[in-house]
Structure 1
Amino acid sequence: MRDDEVKTTNGQAEPEREFRVSFEFFPPKNEAMERSLWEAIKKLEALDPAFVSVTYGAGGSTRERTHSTVTRILKETGLTPAAHLTCVGAERGEVDDVVRAYDKAGVRNIVALRGDPPEGVGSAYAPHPGGYENAADLVGGIRKIADFDISVAAYPEKHPESPDWETDLAMLAAKVDAGADRAITQFFFDNSAYFRYLDRVRARGIDVPVVPGIVPIVNFKRVAGFAGKCGASIPPELAARFEGLDDDPETHALVAAAVAAEQVAELRDQGIDQFHFYTLNRAELVYAICRLLGLGTKTEKAAA
């Protein structure tokens, strides 16, 4: 059997399913970051992603920049933009106005999140007075306004604030019951944690796609800091692969590409064919990983 074939249950070979990717960006804070962001968007556009999402700062702090970036992607590229939206720091009416503005602009995809408190991760969360209570409540509110494609968050190693798995899974179920189309996971490095989580999700009766979130390790110390805040474990053997590379960016990038490609390849071997990359607004490493895994550009697909 060729490497590009898989066997079906009746023993016949069929072509391997092409995997699909989506990319996450954050809105720029200045002109230099704006140039860097658009260079990344243009480079990754060639890979024909299912959609690209743009984050929303704590307390809605990047609301205008998120909206500006999303609408520019819609107008100036062939990409499908997805706008992040949170419950934090705004009354229902304010959030609803943002949703209606996206609807009016022609944006059809939203990533609905509870969001972190303005004080940051680890601070106690409390719903805004008169605001949406949580992500499930937000999904329901969005559904009442227009027919958006809605993604929500999922946590393979449990949300840091969830006291137990039942609470965590109940919240995901509530988001799906409210109308979410898919879940995108927090990034993880231990694939077995993802598959254990997927088993829990399916056993709970949740049947939407659970798309793995993948973060290329552009900077190990930075990513380790993110992981510590969101409860994502870093296997010791993974940390060991980056030891001594702080002052060797070229080797660091090669190792990072290999690590992410290995992770995605293993997930694909187990039947996963959708992946969401947290790009950190850096295109080179994500692009290299996707090409290493055999993802062609739009031009190559059209010529095939």
Structure 2
Amino acid sequence: MSSQEHPLGISFEFFPPATDVGRGKLLQARDALATRQPRFFSVTYGAGGSTQERTRAAVRAVGERGITTAPHLSCIGSEKAQLRDLLAQYREEGIDSLVALRGDMPSGMASLGELRYGNELVEFIRDETGDHFDIAVAAYPESHPQAPNLDRDVENFARKMHAGANMAITQYFFTADAYFRFVDKARALGVEKPIIPGIMPIINYTKLARFSDACGAEIPRWIRKQLESYGDDSDAISQFGTEVVTNLCQRLLDGGAPGLHFYTLNQSTPVLKIVDNLTD
């Protein structure tokens, strides 16, 4: 660990903004979060490359602070030639970390592309670039929405890790036991690399519930009921959310989690409240 790195091993994810106002918010969040010495930043990538140019621009902007920045790279809907060109461009730009994902099929796109699964993308990156990139892949402690069951999902996850990934970042969750159970199952299949919990701050209950229902992340009933009781009281939601997520993070760290990866939604304040609670 670098002497400049945060002792908790934190990292932060951003999404590529579509407007100048959004870009300003991204840079503000980057500057505020950079003060906490993260291990790295990551920048998301649209399905089938739909935000590829915005991702590259955001990676350049985020990386201006000198912190390792890892673009997301998805293979669904992409051809090998496209991916090969993008990998070459990232190498030329000094990028040495990636988040490799299967991705989702964009609406209206007819072809899945030449690579259909995350492990195939990891193998392709290794075949093309050797050990140049540190590669993170996704993990789903509560099972991927399209997996028939958790055991099958963990087997698929292990294939990605054994294909050459350096670490994994999980989908967000609010039940620590789901993470620990997933890690135990992965270790039983020979996965030894770090599995970093993905952490989602609770900012807006309506948006969180909609997104969670879509991606298969479970919001425990007691959390849903409490958030529902606050109605439009954003201050109460924020205070309760900060407490819940801080406690989750502390339990994960106490249980041996190798770090925390925060889904920032390009906002710094909610994340900083949690991070600073953990180091008080």
Task: Report the TM range for the smaller structure's normalisation.
Answer: over 0.9
The runs of 5 or more residues in structure 2 that have no matched partner are 1-5
Determine which of 31, 41, 53 is the counterpart of 1:42.
31
Give me the whole-angstrom Cα distance separating, in 2, the residues matched to 1:37 and 1:18: 24
**Counterpart of 1:82?**
70
2:88 matched to 1:105?
A: no
CA contact under 8 A between 2:119 and 2:160: conserved in structure 1?
A: yes
Alignment of 1:171-182 (within 5 A): 171-182=156-167
- 1:217-273 Cα deviation digits (max 9, x unpaired): 111111111111111111111112212323211221111111110110111221224
Does 1:64 pair with 2:68? no
Q: Who is 2:123 aligned against?
A: 140
Q: More deviation in 183-192 or 266-275?
A: 266-275
SS state of the match for residue 190, structure 2? coil
TM-superposed CA distance for 1:281, in Å, is 0.7
Letter in 1 for 2:133: F
Q: Per-residue deviation at 1:56?
A: 0.3
Bigger CA drift: 46-55 or 64-73?
A: 64-73
Separation in 1, partners of 2:111, 2:207: 28
Whether the 8 Å contact between 1:71 and 1:107 is mirrored in structure 2 is no
| 3-state DSSP of counterpart to 1:223 | helix
Deviation at 1:126? 6.5
Looking at structure 1, the residues matched to 258 and 151 of structure 2 have their Cα atoms a distance apart, in angstroms, of: 27
2:166 maps to a residue whose letter is D
**Where does 1:104-123 land on structure 2 (aligned, <5 Å)?**
104-119=92-107
Give the TM-score, by structure 2 length.
0.93
State the secondary structure of the residue aligned to 1:242: helix
**Separation in structure 1 between the aligned mates of residue 94 and residue 127 of structure 2, nearest angstrom:** 17
What secondary structure sits across from 2:279 in the alignment?
coil
- For the pair shown, the structure with the greater C-alpha radius of gyration is 1
Q: Which residue of 1 aligns with 2:250?
A: 265
* Separation in structure 2 between the aligned mates of residue 93 and residue 246 of structure 1, nearest angstrom: 50
Query: What is the SS of the residue equivalent to 2:228?
Result: coil
The structural deviation recorded for 1:207 is 1.1
The residue number in structure 1 matching 2:142 is 157
Residue of structure 1 aligned with 2:201, choices 216, 224, 229? 216
Is residue 216–residue 257 contact of structure 1 (8 Å, CA) maintained in 2?
yes
**Structure 1 Cα separation of the partners of residues 274 and 82 of structure 2:** 39
Cα distance, 1:52 vs structure 2: 0.5
- Picking from 15, 20, 23, the partner of 1:26 is 15
In 2, Cα distance between the equivalents of 1:285 and 1:166?
34
> Which of the residues 152, 169, 181 maps onto 1:184?
169
Structure 1: tracts of 5 or more residues without a match: 1-16, 296-304
Residue identity matched to 1:212:
P
Aligned equivalents of 1:169, 1:218: Cα separation in 2: 30
Q: Count the aligned residue pairs.
A: 273
- Structure-2 separation of matches of 1:250 and 1:164: 38
Residue identity in the other structure for 1:139: V
- Structure 1 Cα separation of the partners of residues 230 and 85 of structure 2: 47
Structure 1 residue 206: deviation in Å? 1.1
Correspondent of 1:94 among 82, 101, 105 = 82
